[in-house]
Chain A
Amino acid sequence: MLAVLETRTIFGGETEAARVIFYLLALATLLLFFWGIYRRIRVYRVGRRPAGWRWLRRATKYDIPDVTARPGVSKSAAVIAANRSITKVKKPVGLAHLLVFWGFIGLFLATSILSLDYDILGNASRIVTGHTYSFFRGPFYLGYNAVFDLAGLLAIIGSVMLALRRWFSREPQLDYTRAEIPEGGYSRSKIVLGDQVFMVGLLLILVTGLLIQGLRIDGEGFPSFERWTWLGWLIGKMFASFGVGAASARSAHAWLWWVHVGSALAFIAYLPFSKALHILSAPTNLVVSDPANIRRLPAPPEGAAGYATFADFTPKELLAFDSCTKCGRCHYVCPARTAGAPLSPRDFILDLRQWSDRNNQIPLFLDSEDRPTPSGPLAGNGPLAGTVIKERTLWSCTTCMACVEICPVGVEHVPTIVQLRRSLVDRGEMDPTLQSALQNISTQGNSFGKSARMRARWTKGLDIPIPDARKEPVEYLWFLGDFASFDERLVEISRTLAKVLNSAGVSFGILYEDERNAGNDVRRVGEEGLFEMLVESNMRAFEKADFTRIVTTDPHSLNTLRNEYPAFGLDKEVLHYSELLAGLVYRGKVELKPLGRRVTYHDPCYLGRYNRVFDAPRAVIGASGCELLEMPRNRTNSFCCGAGGGRIWMDDSFLEERPSVNRIREAASLGVEYFVVACPKDYAMFSDAVKTAGLEESMKVVDIVELFSEALIGADLVEA
């Protein structure tokens, strides 16, 4: 035992009545907090649970342990602990959040330890032994103060950084303007106010906490052991230097303590009804989010075509609504929003949240949108897909996954959008051009409305035979997809790939007229029945053929064959042709002549973000002796061409600037002559975009296999 007892009284100078009031307030706070949390959890419990409680964490590992493999719980925890999902872009913002995150965890621990000592151990020991025990003294007390003062300082630094950004930054993601402007207008001023209340509230709690610490030490006449409470000591000294004596410090402490305690209690009570809820919901959502969900879309609810009612949502989706912090990253990266379409992934989630809260009578003081005339999520009735979320909003999505990739709290927007699209398809509400594409696919198996028998017509005029995988065993079954088979501009590239594979001695074959549209985009449009029909046709065709693995030209086909077909019985490895070409280079099967060009490369969404194939196409470009200049938005942050998710079958004339044109301008700023693609749809989209942007003279769109082929046999580039 030390000579001086290093401790402090817990309630410094407050009257007995004040203590009673504090405990009553604390009780009321906790009741309000847990009632609020209970209300929210009750909402999640309503959700549709596809497999009991298994949705919490998928237990079984999937056959192909690649892009759909789920991180272990410890890895998820590490991501949360390091705030990695926040720091992956905008490092300073992520760092500021990390400081607040750990600072507040520290302060929460500090309060919990104090409560454990004073309220639990103290009371329990007094009742049992008649003597009040406490460990809040001596070296523990000194270390406690030293450590948790640091936590307080970190939290303050982080909060000030974030507050300054919120107040002064003009970043577009902090702008709450909607992408879809409702008739009759709207106001999001309460959402803005909610942000300010949250932020200023945190600062108030932190600053008053430190000030009362300083006042207490000043009021106690600076006992020397309180030097361990270094921050409080400094603040106390500051007060003293301003001439605040011990007595006035004690009286200031008495009322400032109430400000601190009052704001802390109010914050806790307010938490379930505000943006602060993400403190609990976001980490939970990160743990239950599943990378397989977007790559292997969940089936529609049992007995329903798509989402129509509140009960169709899974607890995971409902939790995701409550996790959104409106950080706006998805809003910023979304190609639909960038192009001027009425879709913002942020608004989509916020609208669904507001609709859900209204449905469940959860009071929202702030953090909600107002509309003079009730519409959208505020409309009393009307279908979920169509009224709550507008049809044209749902149809704007290219399913490019940029929103899911960038979301720091693990929201999976795209699967929910598809579930809502499914009910539109069920009601037959869609673009006429989309309808005819679906009808073509349903009758002839391709979106071009050409006869299924014409699928292999591109092989005519080739002086090499293309083996029929249904008639002879091959190593690679080449699955072309609709564009590479039917589009006039692309069949030439298909022929080039055939020649390259032939001259490299690769054993390959095709399915001829038995190949059908793989169904990736059909599924993402929301036409689940047609998708299943296509899978059945293709699986029958695969059964007729003898092959070891599949190679696709189209990244969209790659995604569904690799990630979705296994559920229907496909057990073959699926590669993209860029992987096959890179393999030829690595295994020394080919010798390439350096081309010495300056090029840039566009990562296709379904190859890059979805299936994490970033390096193979770059290896092909490098092996062709081209200098690769990366666009600012590359790899996981690649910018969609605008064709995915069935958008290629819909009208895009209403867009202010097509995403493909936006992308071509980005490439043009690098001063490269060649825009290299590895996706047939990209070739079609960007060939058009080059013309729209008036860059035909200075930029050529080329496929990686054209580069490869030219480096291999000195063939001329096909004009884009």
Chain B
Amino acid sequence: MKIVVAMRQLADLVEELEVNADGTDIDRDFVKFVSNEWDEAALEEALCHKDDGDAEITVVALDEPDVDQTLYTALAKGADRAVKLTGHDPEGWIRTGDRAAILASWLERDDFDLVLTGVQAADDLDGQLAGVLAERLGVRHAAVVVGFHDADSAVQVEQELGGGTVAVSSLELPAVLGIQAARQTPRYASITRIRQAQQTQTIQEVEISAGGSLGGTVRKISPPKKRGGAEMLEGSASEVAERIAELIRSKGLARS
């Protein structure tokens, strides 16, 4: 099975993010970029399938800050091929719609059975990438996927519903899956292995002339407003305990 894993770079959320001068994006100059954790889960799930049987994994990402690191790490973990799509502004904010368009125009040329990507990302909390990409490619799509099994020309997909219920459905291949979680925590690639990948493997670069944008324009982004912080309870232990009990009752967290 040919699996393509689409990965994204995001500003590391441990950084103190600031809004740029125009107020239309975060200030990208001094922040460190890391790969999206749900994309890491998608890669891990693909690698687990490769460990179990025959899967050929291609990781694909758009040219973004520190993306080479992410792609080489994926190769070090066991991906077979890494592709970097260029032809856009690598420093700017790539909106999900544009990302889907660029990925789709490359995927149309490439041969694949399954595209995996993270169910969401910090700049795609509504999880549109997988859906829009599937629409663009005219293939089937499932979101919040927590596992899948190969079944001839179809794939059995497990999706998480509310309250921990899991729905199992069958999708005809090819398909795009938005991965919620892998069966295990993403594996560790040692720096030595990543460096070996850098020396022995290459990232294939493909220039894509940008497809038409789907989204609107951002007029303003702003940092979250500060709201009242923690309330410190003071007094003796029994006074504090009484106050805590009262709070728990008033929030309806305890019966009686």
State whether these chains interact.
yes
A residues within 8 Å of B by Cβ? 305, 425-426, 428, 430, 432, 435, 438-439, 442-444, 449-454, 527-530, 532-533
CB distance from B183 to the nearest CB of A (A): 14
State the majority secondary structure of interface residues on B. Answer: loop
**In the complex, which of the residues B12, B16, B30, B189 contacts A444, with contact meaning CB atoms closer than 8 Å?**
B12
In the assembled complex, 30 residue pairs joining A and B whose CB atoms fall closer than 8 Å, in A order, are: A305-B193, A425-B188, A425-B190, A426-B190, A428-B187, A428-B188, A428-B189, A428-B190, A430-B188, A435-B185, A438-B188, A439-B188, A443-B32, A444-B12, A444-B14, A444-B32, A449-B14, A450-B14, A451-B14, A452-B32, A453-B15, A453-B30, A454-B16, A527-B191, A529-B191, A529-B192, A529-B193, A529-B195, A532-B191, A533-B191
Q: Closest chain A residue to B16 by CB distance?
A: A451
New A-B pairs, 11, CB < 8 Å, besides A428-B188, A451-B16, A529-B193: A425-B188, A426-B193, A428-B190, A432-B185, A442-B191, A452-B32, A454-B16, A527-B191, A528-B190, A529-B194, A529-B195
Knowing A444-B12, A451-B12, A451-B14, the reply to whether A435 touches B188 (Cβ < 8 A) is yes
List the B side residues contacting A426 at CB < 8 Å.
190, 192-193
Q: Closest chain B residue to A528 by CB distance?
A: B192
B1-57 CB contacts (< 8 Å) to partner A: 12, 14-16, 30, 32, 34
CB distance from B68 to the nearest CB of A (A): 14
List the B side residues contacting A425 at CB < 8 Å.
188, 190
Q: Closest chain A residue to B195 by CB distance?
A: A529
CB distance from B45 to the nearest CB of A (A): 16
Knowing A432-B185, A443-B32, A443-B34, the reply to whether A451 touches B15 (Cβ < 8 A) is yes
> Which 3 A-B pairs have CB atoms at the shortest separation, nearest pair first?
A529-B191, A529-B192, A428-B188
CB distance from B134 to the nearest CB of A (A): 31
Complex Cα distance A167/B192, Å?
51
CB distance from A453 to the nearest CB of B (A): 7
Q: Which of the listed residues A425, A527, A529, A533 has the most CB atoms from chain B within 10 Å of its own CB?
A: A529
List the B side residues contacting A452 at CB < 8 Å.
32
Whether A305 pairs with B190 at a CB distance below 8 angstroms is: yes
Q: Closest chain A residue to B33 by CB distance?
A: A443
CB distance from B170 to the nearest CB of A (A): 33
B residues within 8 Å of A by Cβ? 12, 14-16, 30, 32, 34, 185, 187-195
Q: Closest chain B residue to A300 by CB distance?
A: B192
Complex Cα distance A572/B195, Å?
29
Complex Cα distance A443/B65, Å?
13
Complex Cα distance A450/B14, Å?
6
**What's the count of A-B pairs with C-beta under 8 Å?**
52
Q: Closest chain A residue to B30 by CB distance?
A: A453
List the B side residues contacting A528 at CB < 8 Å.
190-192
**In the complex, which of the residues A444, A453, A530 contacts B190, with contact meaning CB atoms closer than 8 Å?**
A530
Q: Closest chain B residue to A439 by CB distance?
A: B188
Complex Cα distance A278/B218, Å?
77
List the B side residues contacting A527 at CB < 8 Å.
190-191
List the A side residues contacting B30 at CB < 8 Å.
453
CB distance from B196 to the nearest CB of A (A): 9
List the B side residues contacting A432 at CB < 8 Å.
185
Complex Cα distance A703/B192, Å?
37
Q: Which of the listed residues B14, B34, B194 has the most CB atoms from chain A within 10 Å of its own CB?
A: B14
Complex Cα distance A532/B15, Å?
25
CB distance from A454 to the nearest CB of B (A): 8
List the B side residues contacting A430 at CB < 8 Å.
188
CB distance from B27 to the nearest CB of A (A): 12
Complex Cα distance A435/B15, Å?
20
CB distance from A84 to the nearest CB of B (A): 40
Q: Which of the listed residues A425, A428, A527, A528 has the most CB atoms from chain B within 10 Å of its own CB?
A: A428
Complex Cα distance A528/B187, Å?
17
Complex Cα distance A454/B16, Å?
9
Whether A451 pairs with B32 at a CB distance below 8 angstroms is: yes
Knowing A527-B190, A529-B192, the reply to whether A443 touches B12 (Cβ < 8 A) is yes
Complex Cα distance A59/B230, Å?
63
CB distance from A431 to the nearest CB of B (A): 10
List the A side residues contacting B14 at CB < 8 Å.
444, 449-451
List the A side residues contacting B185 at CB < 8 Å.
432, 435
Q: Closest chain A residue to B73 by CB distance?
A: A442
Q: Closest chain B residue to A305 by CB distance?
A: B192
Whether A529 pairs with B190 at a CB distance below 8 angstroms is: yes
Complex Cα distance A583/B31, Å?
41
Complex Cα distance A532/B187, Å?
21
CB distance from B74 to the nearest CB of A (A): 13
CB distance from A513 to the nearest CB of B (A): 10
Complex Cα distance A450/B32, Å?
11
Q: Closest chain B residue to A533 by CB distance?
A: B191
Complex Cα distance A430/B14, Å?
24
CB distance from B188 to the nearest CB of A (A): 4
CB distance from B166 to the nearest CB of A (A): 23
List the A side residues contacting B191 at CB < 8 Å.
442, 527-530, 532-533
Complex Cα distance A452/B195, Å?
22
Complex Cα distance A532/B192, Å?
9
CB distance from A256 to the nearest CB of B (A): 65
CB distance from A30 to the nearest CB of B (A): 49
List the B side residues contacting A532 at CB < 8 Å.
191
Complex Cα distance A438/B186, Å?
13
Complex Cα distance A430/B190, Å?
11
Q: Closest chain B residue to A526 by CB distance?
A: B190
Complex Cα distance A442/B188, Å?
12
Complex Cα distance A305/B191, Å?
11
Complex Cα distance A451/B18, Å?
14
CB distance from A450 to the nearest CB of B (A): 6
List the A side residues contacting B194 at CB < 8 Å.
529
List the A side residues contacting B188 at CB < 8 Å.
425, 428, 430, 435, 438-439
CB distance from B19 to the nearest CB of A (A): 17
Complex Cα distance A351/B12, Å?
45
Q: Which of the listed residues B185, B191, B193 has the most CB atoms from chain A within 10 Å of its own CB?
A: B191
CB distance from A579 to the nearest CB of B (A): 32
CB distance from A51 to the nearest CB of B (A): 22
CB distance from B187 to the nearest CB of A (A): 4
Complex Cα distance A152/B34, Å?
73
Q: Closest chain B residue to A457 by CB distance?
A: B16
CB distance from A305 to the nearest CB of B (A): 6
Complex Cα distance A163/B189, Å?
53
List the B side residues contacting A533 at CB < 8 Å.
191
Complex Cα distance A530/B189, Å?
11
Q: Closest chain A residue to B17 by CB distance?
A: A451
Complex Cα distance A532/B191, Å?
9
Complex Cα distance A360/B218, Å?
71
List the B side residues contacting A428 at CB < 8 Å.
187-190
Complex Cα distance A202/B12, Å?
68
Complex Cα distance A323/B30, Å?
56
Q: Closest chain B residue to A522 by CB distance?
A: B191
CB distance from A538 to the nearest CB of B (A): 15
Q: Closest chain B residue to A449 by CB distance?
A: B14
Complex Cα distance A439/B190, Å?
10
List the B side residues contacting A443 at CB < 8 Å.
12, 32, 34
CB distance from B24 to the nearest CB of A (A): 23
